[in-house]
Amino acid sequence: MMKSAIKLATLAMFSMALIAAPPSVPAFAAGGGGDPPSAAPPPPNSGAGAKSSSKAKKKANKQSSADDAAFRQGYRAAHATIYERQDYADAIAQLKALGRDDNADVANLIGYSYRKLGDYRLSQTWYERALKADPKHVLTWQYYGLWQIEQGNREQASYHLTRIAAICGTGCEEYRSLAAALEKPPGTGLVY
């Protein structure tokens, strides 16, 4: 009887949390292909149709709504620092100051910034951290695929392309961007 009451109470609390949670917002690729985006960045951890990890959800639920608003504002400021000002070092500091290194969106942008600064070792570490937080984070697969091309690892970049196709299909911007980069001849010296 006691176990049934506990299960029922847990189910009721979970249902209330789902009802009270803000609706999810569809994500838009931030800076696909390295070009500055024309729209505002997506809310953090809303990868293109991908679900965030349960660990990230638990952590997000512990934050107050004021913290979430501050986090979103800080994330958007860092996003602008990257794509509007190309100040990657400052963006890394802004993103790390958010205290959400386990968030796939945050880790991905830190990785992207390190890649743009030419620190491929740290960039790889952050891309892998983003994928550990959310294995379906399509933008990380794209950026990490571009990283692979820059490193001369075209076979690995092709693997990343197949991961993107499995997540969002061949029509999404992330797929088209990485596929276009793979079509270019090796050693063209293009920066992505």
The span from the CA of 36 to the CA of 19, in Å, is: 35
- The confidence score (pLDDT) of residue 186 equals 78
> Taking the domains of the chain in order of start, what are their residue ranges?
59-119, 136-185
Angle at 34 between CA 30 and CA 35, to 5 degrees: 80
> Is the whole-model pTM more than 0.85?
no
- The confidence score (pLDDT) of residue 108 equals 97
How confident is the model over 146-155, as pLDDT tens digits?
Answer: 999 999 999 9
Instruction: Give 31-85 as a DSSP string.
Output: SGGGSPPSSPPPPTT--TTPPPPHHHHHHHHHS-HHHHHHHHHHHHHHHHHHHTT
Q: State whether residue 154 is helix, strand or coil.
A: helix
The span from the CA of 114 to the CA of 68, in Å, is: 25
Residue 192's pLDDT band (cuts 50, 70, 90): low
Residue 185's pLDDT band (cuts 50, 70, 90): confident
How confident is the model over 106-145, as pLDDT tens digits?
Answer: 999 999 999 999 999 999 999 999 999 999 999 999 999 9
Looking at residue 138, the DSSP 8-state letter turns out to be: H
- For residue 64, pLDDT over 90 is answered with no
Phi, psi angle pair for 59, to nearest 5°: -65, -40
The span from the CA of 173 to the CA of 80, in Å, is: 20
